[in-house]
């Protein structure tokens, strides 16, 4: 009997040891998986590091590239395109002006009533219309006849039709969001179509002239007064409300910047004469590149798999089109390195499955159990039952990617200010001067990434203060604008009016 008891005890002890070994082994295995997740996170943090020293190097690189782009065509990754806009609206404009915003599969028509008061609220009416699919691959005449007919219908609705007759001369600002080589404030040659359009007879043709001919065919006495890039429209709108506005930034799905440059600094077009001595330059800053940008393996992979590799490098690091996908790629890597997220599902492997608004929602989730993070991981990426500590890791990845983007955007803004001597350095490449008196400097800014994403906005302001120093930064004001491509275009029609 004693032997039996001893045998049972030994057997139980063996089983207990085996169970303990399994438990310990499981814990060690789990710790190993967790360490791999943490290692990926640390690598991302190090790769995205944007110290103030590094940001100042980006600032200098931006200013140098701007100089190079103004010196010669093709001399820089920055195109530094001339807008031929030299009369920015200043709040003294009055009357009724129009805008046509053609930026994709829809177009908008706007009527703006200006009251000769800078601080007044602009009255404007907007009508949005889809472009029929067949017109996107038809002829230039068909497309612009359709648009001109819609403009005519919009005008016919004005008042009772007696006071504002169709015979009255009107001025129009035309926002055309396709690659154009501008040749004057109201003319530009279409370089290529994008966004699903393919109207072959218009490539290499003056786009506003096509619109002008269609307006004449429809019996409208309306002049295309300005061909407008949406970033230039944002600057016009900012300047209308505040004459200290010297630059504008769009940072939403895509990103771009423009600013007011001295004509004598535009070396590649010597002999330019303007009444103001200045001209708005469209930087196309999304294509900026520098070895000082903190690039990771995720950025390299995203770029190589994109439709435009080695192009728009800055945009791919800071704009809303790409931030969500960078985060998705990091989560995918964590999932491949460790099965703590469960089996790798097909959704997680799909490019752009995680959109930036969803990424921002996870980043801004302040619930104790991060339930919004759990919901988005489950509903969008099909990763169910993610433990809380992994949800916290996902939030941290969102934070790292967003912080880098905002800080680089801030460095880009300071680069523009350095180029025009508004950064407190007097335009010197390095160092600070204490004898430079700072002017109040306003930058108009538009786009959901800045206006709707609190963390992005806060990180951008934080970086501006770090780069410039608080004494200088307090003179730089970022002002949110809305609808530069619409209202801004109408304002440019007013400031370049012949009426």
Distance CA(41)–CA(327), nearest Å, equals 11
> Cβ of 253: how many Cβ atoms within 10 Å?
15
Pick the catalytic residue from 206, 230, 325, 365.
230
Distance CA(114)–CA(106), nearest Å, equals 26
> Residue 257 in contact with residue 447, Cβ under 8 Å?
no
The candidate with the shortest Cα–Cα distance to 409, out of 446, 473, 360, 459, is 459
Residues in Cβ contact with 499 at an 8 Å cutoff, skipping those fewer than 6 apart: 95, 169, 171
> Cβ of 311: how many Cβ atoms within 10 Å?
14
Pick the catalytic residue from 149, 177, 243, 451.
177
The answer to whether residue 242 is catalytic is no
The answer to whether residue 186 is catalytic is no
> Cβ of 227: how many Cβ atoms within 10 Å?
27
Residue 195 backbone zone (phi > 0: left; psi -120 to 50: alpha; other: beta): left
Pick the catalytic residue from 108, 333, 404, 422.
108
Cα–Cα–Cα angle for 486, 487, 491, nearest 5°?
120
> Residue 52 in contact with residue 467, Cβ under 8 Å?
yes
Residue 229 backbone zone (phi > 0: left; psi -120 to 50: alpha; other: beta): beta
Q: 460 to each of 117, 412, 455, 456, how far by Cα in Å?
A: 32, 11, 9, 6
Radius of gyration of the chain measured on its C-alpha atoms: 28
The answer to whether residue 230 is catalytic is yes
What tokens appear for 343 in the block? 């089996």
Catalytic center residues: 108, 177, 230
């Amino acid at each position: 009997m004693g032997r039996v008891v001893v045998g049972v005890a030994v057997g139980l002890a063996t089983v207990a040891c085996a169970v303990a070994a399994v438990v310990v082994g499981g814990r060690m295995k789990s710790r190993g998986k967790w360490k791999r997740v943490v290692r990926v996170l640390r690598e991302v943090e190090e790769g995205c590091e944007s110290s103030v020293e590094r940001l100042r190097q980006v600032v200098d690189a931006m200013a140098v590239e701007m100089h190079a782009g103004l010196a010669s065509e093709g001399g820089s990754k920055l195109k530094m395109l001339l807008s031929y806009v030299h009369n920015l609206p200043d709040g003294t404009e009055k009357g009724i002006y129009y805008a046509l915003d053609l930026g994709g599969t829809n177009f908008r028509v706007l009527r703006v009533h200006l009251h000769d008061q800078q601080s007044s609220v602009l009255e404007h009416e907007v009508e949005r219309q889809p472009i029929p699919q067949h017109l996107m691959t038809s002829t230039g005449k068909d497309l612009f006849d359709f648009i001109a007919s819609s403009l005519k219908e919009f005008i016919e609705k004005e008042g009772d039709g007696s006071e504002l007759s169709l015979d009255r001369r009107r001025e129009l600002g035309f926002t055309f969001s396709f690659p154009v080589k501008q040749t004057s404030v109201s003319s530009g040659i279409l370089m290529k179509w994008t966004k699903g359009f393919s109207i072959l007879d218009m490539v290499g043709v003056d786009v506003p002239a096509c619109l002008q001919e269609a307006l004449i065919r429809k019996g409208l006495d309306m002049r295309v007064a300005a061909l407008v890039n949406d970033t230039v429209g944002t600057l016009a709108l900012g300047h209308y409300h505040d004459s200290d506005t010297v630059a504008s930034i769009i940072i939403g799905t895509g990103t771009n910047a423009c600013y007011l440059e001295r004509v004598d600094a535009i070396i590649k077009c010597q002999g330019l004469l303007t009444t103001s001595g200045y001209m708005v330059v469209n930087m196309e800053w999304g294509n900026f590149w520098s070895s000082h940008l903190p690039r990771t393996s995720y950025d390299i992979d995203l770029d190589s798999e994109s439709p435009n590799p080695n192009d728009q490098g800055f945009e791919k690091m800071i704009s809303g089109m790409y931030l969500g996908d960078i985060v998705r790629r990091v989560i995918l890597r964590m999932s491949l390195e460790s099965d703590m997220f469960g089996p790798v599902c097909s959704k997680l492997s799909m490019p752009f499955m995680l959109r930036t608004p969803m990424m921002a929602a996870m980043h801004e989730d302040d619930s104790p159990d991060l339930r919004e993070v759990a919901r988005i991981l489950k509903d969008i990426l099909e990763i169910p039952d993610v433990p809380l500590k992994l949800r916290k890791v996902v939030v941290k990845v969102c934070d790292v990617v967003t912080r880098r983007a905002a800080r680089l955007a801030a460095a880009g803004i300071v680069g523009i200010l350095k180029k025009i001597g508004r950064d407190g350095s007097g335009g010197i490449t390095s160092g600070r001067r204490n004898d430079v008196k700072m002017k109040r400097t306003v930058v108009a800014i538009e786009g959901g990434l800045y206006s709707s994403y609190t963390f992005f906005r806060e990180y951008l302001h934080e970086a501006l203060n770090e780069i410039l120093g608080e004494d200088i930064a307090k003179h730089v004001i970022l002002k949110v604008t809305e609808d530069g491509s619409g209202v801004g275009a109408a304002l440019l029609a007013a400031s370049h009016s012949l009426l």
